[in-house]
Structure formats: C-alpha cells, structure tokens
Structure 1
Amino acid sequence: MGRDRQLSAAFVGLADTLGEDFDVVDLLERLAARCVAFSSAGAVGIVLSDGRGPLRNIAASQERAAFMELLQLQTGDGPCVECFRTGSMVRVPRVAAEIERWPQLVPALIEAGFPAVVALPLRLRESVIGAVNLFYPQEDPDVADDLPVAQAFSDVAALAMLNSPSRRTGPEDILARLQVTITNKVAVEQAKGFLAESGGISVEAAGTTLRDYAHAHGVRATDLARAVIRREIEASEVLGVPEAAAERARPA
C-alpha cells in the first residue's frame, strides 16, 4: 500500500470515532500511534486540559514519552507547556542548547534519547485544549513532511471529540467531555498498574495488553479498565485474553 493510501486509511481510522459513543482515551492513543507511524519521531506524547485544572498526560506511544510529559507538567515548563500556553508550535531542534531555559528537562530528554522535540497545539474550535509532542531520536530532524501530517491528525482527532461535527456543541458540553476523558485516563492507568504487577510485566506492556483485549472483543478500553479495577474481571483473564471474560467487560 502506497503512502497516500496509508494516510487515507489512517485518517479514516481516526474519523470513524464520530459516532455517539466512543472512547476519547483510545482515540488519543491512536492519534499518538499514527503520528509515530507517519513521521520520523521516535515517540509521541499528548497532554490535555479539562479547562479548569492543570494539564494532564493523557496518551503516549511509549513510557519514555509519558515520563517526559510528566516531567514537563511537574516542572511547569517545557515545549508542551509552552505550546499550550501560546497556542503555537514550539520547535526545539537541539534540546542541549536549551539547558539554561529548561535545566531539569533537558538532561532527562537527552538521557531518554530525545535530543529534539516539536510540540503542536491540540485545538478544539477556537480553544487550545492540549498539545501533541513529537520526540525525535536525532538533532535537527527534517520535519517538513512530519508536521503538516501530525497537525492534520490532531485536528481530526479534536473534531472527533465533538462527537458529531454537524451538531451544535456548547462550551459546557466540551468541558464535560474533557473532564470525563481525564477521569477515564486515571482508570486506565490504575488498571495498567494492576495488570503490570499481576503479570510481572512492564506498564507499557500492560497497556498494550489492555488495548489489545479491548479491541479484540469490541469493548471500550476504559470500560475494561474499570472492570479490572473492580475485580469484575480477573487480571489473569485479561493477560490471557480469553473469550469468556469479554462479555463481563461490556457496559450494561
């Protein structure tokens, strides 16, 4: 399949969430994965705001990216935070040159193998609701083809969060959806931690297992996560991905 057809399929995969009931956490994780697949970035992380509280790390293609996002949010500075504040792209082709600007973040990025970063705004209509961060494994990366595609993916994902582009959605509806998304992310992270401990695997592997199980059986990852937390499904069942447990993950 050529790149154009692959891109078309990727956009369709994001846009098909425009139904009445979809999982925003899953949508943003798919956004992160697609940005990695169609760019030279080594990893992608996404932060989100519910419009009231601080930014939250909501999705990442790998745990290293999630940790870099968390560090930025803890220090209150960095490309993703600056991008969210200004609503503009932040391009850092050489992270090492920003040591005075971000004295805690820069050494961590270099140690993690990300000597370059680009942050793109995640917009919902007129509002900036977060940022999409592309972490690069080399300095001075060629991003000419990466950024338009990543921004387009981000715009489609943000549109999907409105549920239906043809229906008027007020600010209060958008705010409520963002708040639910952040609450769902907490449940997913709790379930990932529990699965990791139960199975003796990494948190990243546990997240993949959770998503694979949900996708294989047609359940939402957040519904499955809550079922795991409430012990309605045993961790061993999810780790083994059996058929029988799928029904108990489905919402009533």
Structure 2
Amino acid sequence: MAVRPRNDRHGAPGDDAGGRGAAGGDRPRPGPRTPGPRRPGVDDEREHRQDRMWAVDVIAEEVRDAEPREIPGRLCEVVVELLPVAGASVALHCDGMPVRLSASGERAAYLAEIQATLGDGPCLHAGRTGAPVLACDLTSGEDPGRWPVFAQQATAAGVRAMYSLPLGNDSVCVGTLDLYRDTPGELTARELRTALLVAGVMTVALMALPRGEENGGRGAESWLSGLAADHDEVYQAVGMIMAQLRVGSEEALARLRAHAFARDRTALDVARDVVAYRTRFERD
C-alpha cells in the first residue's frame, strides 16, 4: 500500500517537530493559540484540545468511506503523515505471538516479522505489559541491551528508534501499533498524545466495528477475515508441531521460531510450509 509523503495534504498544529508545520494541501493549520502572556495550565489545555481536534479531523478524513478491513492500513498511513516516523505497522497478539495485520510499507512489515520470529522486541514487551514501550535509540544506550538481536536486525534495516503502543484496555491487550523511525530520538509530549489517539482509534477498529455475525447471519465474512489469515496459519502450524513432537504450545512455538531463525526465514514462512506439509518436525 503506497504511503503519501508526510504532510503533503495536512498542515500540522505547530512548528516544533522538525519543521513539520509547513502549511499545505486543503487543510488550514490552527492559528496562533496563545496571544499575549502565556497562562500555564489554561493555555496548555487549549493546545491539547486543538491538537486533538486537528488529529481527529485528519484521521476522520483518512478513514472516511473505508471498508472495515481497510481501516488498519489506512491508520498506518495516517500516523506516518501525522508524526515524524518513517513507518508503522499493526499486529494482533495472542499467547505471545504478534501477527501483522497491516503495515505502511515493506520495511515496517519486515520489522514486524523480525519480532514475531525472534519472540523479542519492543512490540512483544508492550503486548506483555500493556504499556507503551519507547525505544528511542536502538544504536546505543539501554535499548540495544534489552533486545540485542532485534536491535542489530533493525539497525541493519536502517531503523534507529521504535515506539510500540498497546491496543486494548486496562484488562486486555489485543495487539500493538508499532512506529519506526530512521533517526534516534524521543517523541514529544504532543506527538505521543497523537500516537495514543491513533492507537485508540485502532483499538476501536479491532474490538468494536461490526463483524459478519452481527449482520443477520447472511454469510458475510468477519471484517477481520483475510487480515487475520496469517494469524490462523501460525496457530495451525503450532498445533501441527505439537502433534508431531508431542509437546505443549509454548515449546512448539519456540521450535517454530528457532527453525525460522536458523534458516534466516520468518516464522510465518515456516508456518506456511508446515501447514502445506512441506516441513515436518521430527522428535529427537
């Protein structure tokens, strides 16, 4: 799915994020927000509201007339427009296995597959804890030490920072929205609020949009059908490996990942071979 250059249509609400505030396209940028002396608290709240209104307006335009199955991809596109990031992906999480639903481009898709194969990385940590994980520098400091293999693979692909936001609520995390940047650095408070807003909309898309069974049982497919096909293949493969090796699901998934990593392949590629009976796991 092609990604439009960031801010070719949407103005930004301010000029403090790497010069992203240049006006352009058909959407005017909010005007000056704090004429006269600044009033701490009052003016901050006004800025927050204006930022939110602007981001909501951009998101609404992007998903207008979209089919439900198109919304994850549209939101991956719009978050790249709204924020100083090079790519975005969204993944479902179940039993410690993230399965990509959509991505803004090939590199974002590749980074998602790396984490699924390794069973490690910021998105896995965000999925486990249900809290945002902001890996601001994968080249030095603490972040490479937390995920050394992922950091090496990510930086080799030109990614220098990653921000993973959980999708769900206080009791359940259904997935993550993962943002990638080719330069190290933190998200500003404003940018993080915008990212969390997009994550909230993505959560609604994953949890609350109408599904096929709500359409009167007329044979309509669930809106996730097709998007979640990879998810189903991985778990079918895990089940087959469990039967072949007579092991539990955790060990079967670990064997699948190890097999993929040793052969420089993704876990999804190996899962497809298992399901198609091209690969079989033998007991030691």
TM-score (norm 2): 0.53
| Bigger radius of gyration among the two | 2
**In the superposition, relative to structure 1, how do residues 185 and 102 fare at CA in structure 2: closer, same or farther (>3 Å)?**
closer
1:159 has 2:207 as partner: no
- Asked whether the equivalents of residues 47 and 131 of structure 1 are also in contact (C-alpha less than 8 Å), the reply is yes
Counterpart CA distance in 2 for 1:147 and 1:17 is 27
1:92 to partner: Cα distance? 1.0
SS of the residue 2:180 aligns to? strand
Matched, 1:103 2:109: no
Structure 1 residue matching 2:127: 3-state secondary structure:
helix
- From the superposition, tell whether residues 58 and 160 of structure 1 become closer, same or farther in structure 2 (CA, over 3 Å): closer
Q: CA deviation at 1:177?
A: 6.3
Kept in 2: contact 1:15–1:160 (CA 8 A): no
Contact 2:68 2:205 survives alignment (8 Å):
no
Q: Write the distance in 1 (CA, Å) between the matches of 2:198 and 2:118.
A: 28
Q: Secondary structure at the match of 1:99?
A: helix
Are 1:90 and 2:133 an aligned pair?
yes
Separation in structure 1 between the aligned mates of residue 209 and residue 62 of structure 2, nearest angstrom: 12
Q: Deviations along 1:124-164, whole A, 9 cap, x unmatched?
A: 57421111111112112443222211211121232234126
1:160–1:142 distance in 2 versus 1, CA, 3 Å: closer
For residues 63 and 130 of structure 1, what CA distance do their matches in structure 2 show? 20
Q: Distance in 2 between matches of 1:184 and 1:76?
A: 16
The aligned counterpart of 2:189 is: 144
Q: CA deviation at 1:10?
A: 2.4
Distance 1:106 1:121, change over 3 A: same
**Paired residue type of 2:55:** L
Partner of 2:228: 182
Q: CA deviation at 1:74?
A: 0.5
Moved more, 121-130 or 177-186: 177-186
* Partner SS, residue 134 of structure 2: strand
Partner of 1:7: 55
Q: Does 1:58 align with 2:58?
A: no
Tell me which of the two structures has the higher relative contact order, counting C-alpha pairs closer than 8 angstroms and 6 or more residues apart.
Answer: 1
Paired residues, number:
172
Post-superposition shift, 1:112?
1.8
Query: Helix, strand or coil for the counterpart of 1:96?
Result: coil
User: Offset of 1:68 from its aligned partner?
Assistant: 0.7
**Match 1:39 to one of 80, 83, 86:** 83
Identity rate, percent: 23
Q: Deviations over 1:78-101 (max 9, x none)?
A: 000100110000011111233333
Q: Per the alignment, do residues 148 and 123 of structure 1 end up closer, same or farther by CA in structure 2, a change over 3 Å counting?
A: same
The more displaced of 153-162 and 73-82 is 153-162
Paired AA for residue 180 in structure 2 = F
Match of 2:73 in 1: 29
Contact map agreement 2:127 2:176 (CA 8 A) in 1: yes
Equivalent residue number for residue 165 of structure 2: 120
Q: Which runs of 5+ in 1 are unaligned?
A: 169-175, 188-252
Please state how far the C-alpha of 1:2 moved relative to its aligned partner. 2.6
